[in-house]
Amino acid sequence: MFKLFVYSLFFTFISLIVFNQIISHEIKDKVRELNNINYSLKKEKNKEILLKTDWVVRTSPERLQKLSEKYYPQLRLSPSKGENIEFINQEIEKN
């Protein structure tokens, strides 16, 4: 009876070690995956910042003014005037 108990303990122990190995292997895999995700997240974040920066640079008032001056003959764009807003308000009231 005692021998059986010891043997069963022994087997449990061996199986636990195997189990542990499998789990630790899985954990390593997951950590690797997590690192990859974090790394790609970081890259995406950097890209996002770059895109945001690019958008701000492209819509910066300085650049818009230069462009509006350059393409004035075609587009006739100029800074908004108070009269225009009054005109819009009148149109809204009419409708």
Partner 1 sequence: MVNLKKNKFINVKVSAGNDLSFLFEDSHKKNSNNQNDLDKISLSRERVHLAKFLFIFIFAIFVVRGTSLAIFPGDILSKPNKIISNSIKNPLPEIYDRNDKLLATTIETKRASIRNPVNPEETARMIKAVIPDLDKDALLNKLENKSYVEIADNINDIQYYDILNSGVAEVEFHSVWRRIYINKQLASHIIGYSGRDLIGLSGIEKTIPKSKILHEDIKLSIDISVQFHLEDQITKGIELYGAESGFGIVMDANNGQIIASASLPTFDPNIINKNYANNTVKKSTFNQVFQGSYELGSVMKIMTLAMGLESSQIDLNDTFDDSTCIKIAANRCLNNYRNQNSENLISSVDCLVRSSNRCMAQIAIKVGRESQKSFLQKVGLLDEYFLEVHETGSPILPERWTDNSMITISFGQGLSVVPLSFTSSVAAMVNGGYKIQPSLNYYNNSKKENRVIREDTSKKTIYAMRQVVKHGSGKKADIKGYAVIGKTGTADIPCNGTYSGCGNRTSFVGAFPGWDPKYVILVSYERPKENPSRGIMGESSFHNAGPTAGEIIRLIAPILNIEYNVDKEIENPQKDILKINLIKENSL
Closest approach of partner 1 to the CB of residue 75, in Å = 19
Among 25, 38, 71, 75, binds partner 1 (CB under 8 A): 38
7 binds partner 1 (CB under 8 A): no
Task: Report DSSP state, residue 95.
Answer: -
Q: How many helices (H) and strands (E) does the chain have?
A: 4, 0
Q: Does 67 bind partner 1 (CB under 8 A)?
A: no
Q: Do the beta carbons of residue 65 and residue 59 sit within 8 Å?
A: no
Q: Which of residues 74-93 bind partner 1 (CB under 8 A)?
A: 79-86
Residue 33 main-chain phi, psi, to 5 deg: -60, -45
Residue 79 CB, shortest distance to partner 1, in Å, is 5
DSSP per-residue letters across 56-88: HHHT-HHHHHHHHHHTHHHH------HHHHHHH
Residues binding partner 1 (CB under 8 A): 5-6, 9, 12-13, 16, 19-20, 23, 27, 31, 34-35, 38-39, 41-42, 45-46, 49-50, 52-53, 56-57, 60-62, 65, 79-86
